[in-house]
Structure formats: C-alpha cells, structure tokens
Amino acid sequence: MSDASTEQTQRMLDLAAQVLTTEAQALLAMRSRLGPDFIAAVNAILVVKGRVVVMGMGKSGHIGRKIAATLASTGTPAFFVHPAEASHGDLGMVTKEDVVLALSNSGESQELSAILPIIKRQGIVLIAMTGNAQSTLAKHALIVLDSAVEKEACPMNLAPTASTTAQLALGDALAVAVLDARGFKSSDFALSHPGGSLGRRLLTHVSDVMRSGTDVPHVLPHTGFPDLMREMSQKGLGISAVVDEERMILGIFTDGDLRRLIEKGIDVLHLKAHEVMKAQPSTIHQDALAAQAAQLMEQLRITSLLVVDQDNRLCGALNSNDLMRAKVI
C-alpha cells in the first residue's frame, strides 16, 4: 500500500483537528447547561439504598458500561443492564431501591422505551441522559441530564461521535461529583483497585514484602568480623543488623561500611561487630506502607532497611529489589 499523498495527508490532519475541535466545543457548550438537574442526579445517587443501574443501546450502551465501571470503582455500587435483555428477564435485576441511569441521544430507543413504563410503575428513580429533552425517555424520567450536541464530529453528521463524547464526559462529571460528596479518598480507590499500581502502593505494607525469620541478617555485638561477613554473605542483603539478646537494634554494618574501612587501610579481621557498626540506623515499622519504605530509601540514598515491630525490636529487613518484585516501585 503506497503512502498517502501530501494532499491526502493534510486532509487527514485537518479532519482530525476538526473532530477534536467539534467535540471540545460540544463539551464546553454542555458545561454551561449544568444546573439543578445535575445536582438532583448527584443527590439521587448519594441517597440510593441500592445500586445505580446503567442502561443504553448501541454506542450509548458502550458509554453506559464505562460510566457504570467508573461509578463502581469510585465508591458507588453500579452495573450495566442491556435494555434488550431487560425485556427478557434481566429487568428482575433492578429493585425499587435502585436508581436507573438511562442513556440515549435520541431518547427514542425502542428497546429502552419498552421498559420505561415498567421502571416508572415500580417507583424507581429514573435519570435520563439524552440529547432530546422532548423525547419519550425524557418524559418518563424524574431527572433529565441534557447531553445534546449541536452536531456530530462525523463529516456526514451521522456516526455517534460528539454525542458519545458528551455522554462520556457528563458521566465522568457525575461520578466525580458523587465521589467528592462522599468524601471518597485515594485509600478508598485503592481498595477497589488492588491489582493496580495505586492499589499496590496504598495497600502493600512492609510486613508483606520484608524478609523475616532466619532470612534477616543479624549478629550480636561481640561477634567477630569473619562471622559478621559470613552472615551478610549468606543472607544476601548487603547489610547486617547488630542486636542485643532481646533483638533490640544497636547498629548496622553494610557493604559500604566495609569498603570505607578497607579504603582507610584498617585491619578489620580482629574487630568485633560493635566496633565497626554504625549506631542508631534508620528503621521502618512493619505496619508502615511499603511505599513509605521506598520513599525513605530514596531520601537516605540507601538500598536496604531494617524493620522493627511494635516493641521496636528487629523483626525483618528489606531492600529495593524486594520492593521492585512487589511492584511498589
């Protein structure tokens, strides 16, 4: 396939720019129409005892699925029901305690219109998101969110483009307004996204990733230097804690400390652990977030940390590789 001519290339770019401009203008125009109905929709979702049931056909259905997913991930239980399937039994998934958010640009979708009387008869709160305020959907709804656009971005003004962008943005605006009103925090977001990077950073604790038990390098203060080095080599962290009989941390010895001693020409073979250790090393609590450990390491420019329990006793150790494996960093 040959490359497009210069003229064709420019037409592509011009058309793409026109699409973006048309859709941006549609969003800006919709912003000026936000008002009491939007607030009513937010309040209806905030007080609902059940869930938000999102419906829509065709492209509006695709947008509806995304809106339902956004609501669910930001603290509002929500799911999508296909209007055609609703007519064949799935309407039983909707209860009187739910709110229905129905999307249709024309407001005249046959599959959606067929179930509107049933929704209304059950006393279910119906929020319409439509580009036609005089439509069947709008007339059945208690609350109408105006998603009308002046024109589609499609050159033929046919394919749903600007209208679906408007629906998507209005759905995002609704979800964000609701989460803010709920006092939804990043920690709440993490609970519904445990597999994501934010979830790992906000849910993974030091105790989840640290080395523990016999894998923690430590020696007593009067341990000879050869045994100290043997402990460091066996545990593979490049450090060793120096502790007393109660596992209270007295100091730490690292590969960097060894290098500095050798550079000074000090004969280390006859020294004891307490003579070469660095006293009062930085530590982190086992209940701290692993992300805090990563931040502390970066701040101190170190690659390993000793971990303490509630009694400030040595209970673990970790390094940057442990945090990388846990995908915290």
User: Distances in Å between the alpha carbon of 62 and those of 34, 54, 65, 67, 287?
Assistant: 23, 11, 5, 9, 42
Of 54 and 325, which is predicted with more confidence? Answer: 54
Per-residue confidence band for 196, with pLDDT thresholds at 50, 70 and 90: low
Of 75 and 3, which is predicted with more confidence? Answer: 75
Domains, the chain, ordered by start: 6-184 (3.40.50.10490), 206-325 (3.10.580.10)
Q: What is the pLDDT of residue 285?
A: 96
Write the Ramachandran bin of 213: left for phi over 0, alpha for psi from -120 to 50, otherwise beta.
left
Q: What is the pLDDT of residue 197?
A: 54
The 10s digit of each residue's pLDDT in 105-141 is 999 999 999 999 989 888 999 999 999 999 999 999 9
- Whether the full predicted model's pTM is greater than 0.85, yes or no, is no
Which whole number is the average pLDDT over 34-56?
Answer: 95
Q: What is the 3-state secondary structure (H, E, C) of 179-200?
A: HHHHCCCHHHHHHCCCCCHHHH
Q: Is 270 helix (H, G, I), strand (E, B) or coil?
A: coil
Q: CA 53, CA 68: separation in Å to the nearest integer?
A: 8
Q: CA 69, CA 64: separation in Å to the nearest integer?
A: 9
The 10s digit of each residue's pLDDT in 239-273 is 999 999 999 999 999 999 999 999 999 999 999 99
Q: What is the pLDDT of residue 230?
A: 95
In this structure, are strands 143-146 and 239-243 parallel, antiparallel, or unpaired?
unpaired
Angle, nearest 10°, between helix axes 36-47 and 162-182? 50
Q: What is the pLDDT of residue 171?
A: 96
Q: What is the pLDDT of residue 7?
A: 87
Tokens at residue 35, please? 């008002």
Per-residue confidence band for 192, with pLDDT thresholds at 50, 70 and 90: low
